[in-house]
A and B are shown apart, each in its own frame.
Chain A
Amino acid sequence: MIAIIPTDHFLIMTLYALLVSAFFALLWRETRRERLRLFGILLASLVLGGLAVAWLMYPFPS
């Protein structure tokens, strides 16, 4: 099986945020405008939320 394995954590997280945002924007909204708006909100929330959690964890290494 083809294995394309990026090890950049930010890239993997951003790809995940893109896919999940696109999915829920399609599922939860009907019009193009509403979908784009929700997509932007979800994407920004997931990426910025992930960065915020990563920053908060920084003082507590495992």
Chain B
Amino acid sequence: MNETAAAASRRPLVVAMILAWLFPGLGHFYLGRRTTAVAYAVIVTATFLAGVSFQGRLYTVEAGQPLTILATFAVYGAGLLNIAARLLSDNPAGTILAATYEYGCAYLLTAGLMNLLLILDAHDIAAGRKR
């Protein structure tokens, strides 16, 4: 396969991965797995919104707190959900005194990590590694 043909065959893979990051399930929808795409969208969005409503924290990197690098990476995995929540929320840092704060953080981190797994899954489907 020459370089042009190889680049053309990689295109759907890259598009699927970008779409998968933008919104949960969008990569799978693009690849023709529409039913599972809708299910993924519902599950990941519900997890993320629950995290926001539980007053969890949308992490940002803090000096002297190396674990916030991982947490920020995880939350940014949720794509546009994370960006929209940061723009729309009155309190993106969460409410640390709220009884549900820790749960909210866990939900938000989980939603981001779920979407990162969906990006990898979309990659595997587009690359033909998964049926």
Chain A residues in the interface with B (C-beta under 8 A):
1-7, 9, 12, 15-16, 19-20, 22-23, 26-27, 30
Contacts and interface: CB of A to CB of B under 8 A. Distances in A.
A16 B106 contact: yes
A40 to B, nearest CB: 16
Interface residues of B, number: 27
19 contacts: A1-B52, A1-B53, A1-B88, A1-B90, A2-B53, A5-B55, A5-B100, A12-B103, A16-B47, A16-B110, A19-B43, A20-B110, A22-B43, A23-B40, A23-B47, A23-B114, A26-B43, A27-B117, A27-B121
Contacts of B121: 27
B107 A30 contact: no
A16 B106 CA distance: 9
Interface of B: 36, 39-40, 43-44, 46-47, 50, 52-55, 88-90, 98-100, 103, 106-107, 110, 114, 117-118, 121, 131
Contacts of A22: 39, 43
Contacts of A15: 50
Contacts of B50: 15, 19
A19 B39 contact: no
